[in-house]
Structure 1
Amino acid sequence: MSLRPVKILVVDDSAVIRGLMAKVIESTEGLQLAGTAMHGEAALAFLKRNPVDIVVLDVEMPVMNGLDALRQIQIQFPRTHVIMASALTTAGAKVTVEALAQGAAGCVAKPQAKSASDAIQQVGAELVPLIRALTNKPEANSPDAAIDAETEIRSHSESNVSRTNIAYHTPSKTETATRSTGSSVLRRMPRPVQAIVIGTSTGGPKALSQIMSSIDDTIWQPILIVQHMPAAFTPMLAKHLGSDSRRVCVEAQTGMPILPRQIYVAPGDFHLEVVRKGADIVAQLHQAAPEHYCRPSVNPLFRTAADVWGKHLAAVMLTGMGDDGIEGTQAVHQAGGYILAQDAVSSVVWGMPGAVVKAGLHDEMLSLSEIAGRLRQIALWKGAA
């Protein structure tokens, strides 16, 4: 356990929101409210006098908004984690997704409950587990502990099926020892690849942005992505990834053909699957029960992609809390597909990729900076069909 309380600054122009978050922090063991501020400029002035561990930062504020404040905090106080607090609106989602892509540690939704007690419970259900994941406690430094942290989220609210919270995690020495060496030798030569599927959660927007910015025309295969994210956020994520990749990137829709050189993102609160329809492969959305308390879950995409493409599928498991996608990855493995897992050092949380590695399902474990390059190699592989 931490020897001192985690110091937190709450920044929001709403006195009501500041009060709700302050009450949650003050009533939680191990957390300490360092102070509050009404806008980004006041927050920076506070931080110069009072170092804190975490800043909970509103997205839309007067004087200095959350995105501008985030950039300044990253420059002036690089060791301070920033959690964005966003309304589930189009405007809020746009700025929040941009902040996550730029390196905000996570985000939580502002409460929409009618009563103060319900609002406090809602804030606590998202904010407290996220702070726990950010505070780098010894027990948090393993894939199992990442799963435990997800269990804590579930214990607060089992109805949160498209988790908003995203957190950074510093790997332990054990995890660091599992980092890939950067070798260019493939562990197993893949078959010609016809599609690429990616699963991610915590830390995913920044990881996806880096990968999509590095792909080129050698990757002609369609790319399908599941990112744990609320429904209000996924349209903005698709827009950002389209800009990063310089190719068409859309939220998938039922019946939409899966075409080469296009990117498809699972909409929030919907599972994404792929099915054959005559000569075509099309997307299929549904709202079946959450898997691993997630909707979208990585499992439906990976399972059905394994059925459709079999040994001609490449699957990538990126940074994320918990172990969603492990069953789907097993299906890809059994079908003969090629599996990449992000390593611990470059992961924000080594839960999802760590579960894949722990189960021995991966063909390669690579750092985030290596993944796009490996996908380019795999995309061009002309091995036996």
Structure 2
Amino acid sequence: MGIKVLVVDDSSFFRRRVSEIVARDPDLEVIGTAVNGAEAVKLVAELKPQVITMDIEMPVMDGITAVREIMAKNPTPILMFSSLTHDGAKATLDALEAGALDFLPKRFEDIATNKDDAILLLQQRIKALGRRRLYKPISRPVPASSSTMARSSSSVQQPLRATKPATPASRASSVVRASGKKYKLLLIGTSTGGPVALQKILTKLPANYPHPILLIQHMPAAFTPAFAGRLNGLCKIEVKEAQSGDQLKPGTAYLAPGGMQMMLERGGAHGRLKVLSGSADMNYKPSVDITFASASKLSGRDTLAVVLTGMGADGREGARMLKSAGATIWAQDEASCVVYGMPQAVSAAGISSQSIALEDMAESILRESGNG
């Protein structure tokens, strides 16, 4: 039997299309469909799927409210389908904060230029989420059912993490002991599960964090302005979408724009950013490898680079170049990753020196940076 999938969408055409794609893969099985969030909540309890694909805008109960209720009652990995618009970006980020683990554009032509590639990517994402186990927190209240499209990010509950069951008392701390090394730059690369992971780390950094921070998150162009704005509103540090010519400042995080490549070059006291479209054949825009490689030539050993949750191996070769230049490389540990792909790639290659739980990453960064 394959990974059991529940497909949720108010469009009969889209339900059928997704169901057919899922059914093509022998490792996947559609066990039910739902036409709105309320029906999805009911079917999750009855059918116990291993993965849910979820639309955002639906009658009776929208997708974000449904995500909250499902994660409170029967935590299940959820893949959201989103429109590539400003409102679609905001709603998708709300869904991720509510507990969804991943998202894809609803128009398949926005997923990949080749139809077969888009189908394969959807199947791969579902299988990756199907391998994760979620746990139900104690005494987690369920908000009253209402449209959440207009809710501010501050009113959204924090998400569940895709992780193995663990309690604070039983989980061994992975906080690192400060090495005493001096740094000038922090790099963080991530993909699937990254928006929640970045929020968890960056909100714990003080306004006087001593170094500039470069963030590379696999994300569509329509999403990065909204994501940078959301992080900026939640964090003590400043967070902005990177622009060409930005001169790096301590205590500021620069998010690579979706659909572009972000590179570090000489200029100012801490370096300057160059944002360009890059090669059309690049798999990732932005690419962790591209940014890491450019930093290896400029900041070298003065860099702390962190690879967080994500599919694939983007970041491995850039991290290898950084390490050769004397940089320190860390990876998120398997248990706290939504998808242990990118961190595993740098860890298995012997590039990273530490595997750190997401819960301990901010404290580890602060200690290593001299703020702990």
Q: Same fold (TM over 0.5)?
A: yes
> What does residue 273 of structure 2 align with?
283
Quote the offset at 1:197 in angstroms. 0.7
* 1:190 and 1:381 in contact (8 A); partners too: no
* 1:86 and 1:96 in contact (8 A); partners too: yes
* 1:60 and 1:92 in contact (8 A); partners too: no
Partners in 1 of 2:259 and 2:266 — Cα distance?
23
Q: Deviations over 1:279-321 (max 9, x none)?
A: 5621101222268721211112112222222222111111111
**Paired residue for 1:83, among 79, 84, 103?**
79
AA of the residue aligned to 2:52 = V
**Paired residue for 1:126, among 121, 128, 142?**
121
Quote the offset at 1:352 in angstroms. 1.4
> What does residue 330 of structure 2 align with?
340
Q: How does 1:243-254 map to 2 (within 5 A)?
A: 243-254=233-244
> What does residue 73 of structure 1 align with?
70
Residue 182 in structure 1 maps to residue 179 in structure 2? no
Quote the offset at 1:265 in angstroms. 0.5
**Paired residue for 1:19, among 5, 8, 16?**
16
Quote the offset at 1:124 in angstroms. 2.2
Over 6 Å off, 4+ runs: 168-172
> What does residue 161 of structure 1 align with?
none
* 1:339 and 1:362 in contact (8 A); partners too: yes
* 1:222 and 1:263 in contact (8 A); partners too: yes
How high is the sequence identity, in percent, across the aligned residues? 34
After superposition, the Cα gap between the structure-2 partners of 1:202 and 1:113, relative to the gap in structure 1 and judged at 3 Å, is closer
**Paired residue for 2:43, among 37, 42, 46?**
46
* 2:232 and 2:239 in contact (8 A); partners too: yes
Residue 272 in structure 1 maps to residue 267 in structure 2? no
Quote the offset at 1:123 in angstroms. 5.6
Give secondary structure in 1 for the equivalent of 2:60.
coil
Residue 315 in structure 1 maps to residue 310 in structure 2? no
> What does residue 164 of structure 1 align with?
none
Q: Deviations over 1:314-339 (max 9, x none)?
A: 11111111111112112221222222
Give secondary structure in 1 for the equivalent of 2:299.
helix
Q: Deviations over 1:113-139 (max 9, x none)?
A: 59xxx99757623321112212329xx
After superposition, the Cα gap between the structure-2 partners of 1:51 and 1:191, relative to the gap in structure 1 and judged at 3 Å, is closer
Q: Which sits farther off after the overlay, 21-30 or 316-325?
A: 21-30
Partners in 2 of 1:233 and 1:136 — Cα distance?
26
* 1:136 and 1:169 in contact (8 A); partners too: no
After superposition, the Cα gap between the structure-2 partners of 1:126 and 1:75, relative to the gap in structure 1 and judged at 3 Å, is same
**Paired residue for 2:104, among 105, 108, 124?**
108
Quote the offset at 1:48 in angstroms. 3.3
AA of the residue aligned to 2:266 = R
Residue 64 in structure 1 maps to residue 61 in structure 2? yes
Partners in 2 of 1:64 and 1:218 — Cα distance?
43
Partners in 2 of 1:77 and 1:25 — Cα distance?
22
Give secondary structure in 2 for the equivalent of 1:345.
helix
> What does residue 214 of structure 1 align with?
204
Partners in 2 of 1:308 and 1:36 — Cα distance?
52
**TM-score normalised by structure 2 residue count:** 0.82
Quote the offset at 1:235 in angstroms. 1.5
* 2:3 and 2:50 in contact (8 A); partners too: yes
* 2:246 and 2:272 in contact (8 A); partners too: yes
> What does residue 288 of structure 2 align with?
298
Give secondary structure in 1 for the equivalent of 2:271.
strand
Q: Deviations over 1:196-253 (max 9, x none)?
A: 1101112111111110121113522111100111111112221222233233211111
* 1:249 and 1:264 in contact (8 A); partners too: yes
> What does residue 261 of structure 1 align with?
251
After superposition, the Cα gap between the structure-2 partners of 1:371 and 1:42, relative to the gap in structure 1 and judged at 3 Å, is same
Q: Deviations over 1:341-366 (max 9, x none)?
A: 11111122222112212222223221
After superposition, the Cα gap between the structure-2 partners of 1:119 and 1:51, relative to the gap in structure 1 and judged at 3 Å, is farther
Quote the offset at 1:86 in angstroms. 0.9
* 1:213 and 1:245 in contact (8 A); partners too: yes
After superposition, the Cα gap between the structure-2 partners of 1:21 and 1:301, relative to the gap in structure 1 and judged at 3 Å, is same
Q: How many residues align?
A: 338
Quote the offset at 1:171 in angstroms. 8.5
AA of the residue aligned to 1:221 = H
AA of the residue aligned to 2:313 = D
Q: Deviations over 1:141-166 (max 9, x none)?
A: 9xxxxxxxxxxxxxxxxxxxxxxxxx
RMSD: 2.9
* 1:70 and 1:104 in contact (8 A); partners too: yes
> What does residue 152 of structure 1 align with?
none
**TM-score normalised by structure 1 residue count:** 0.80
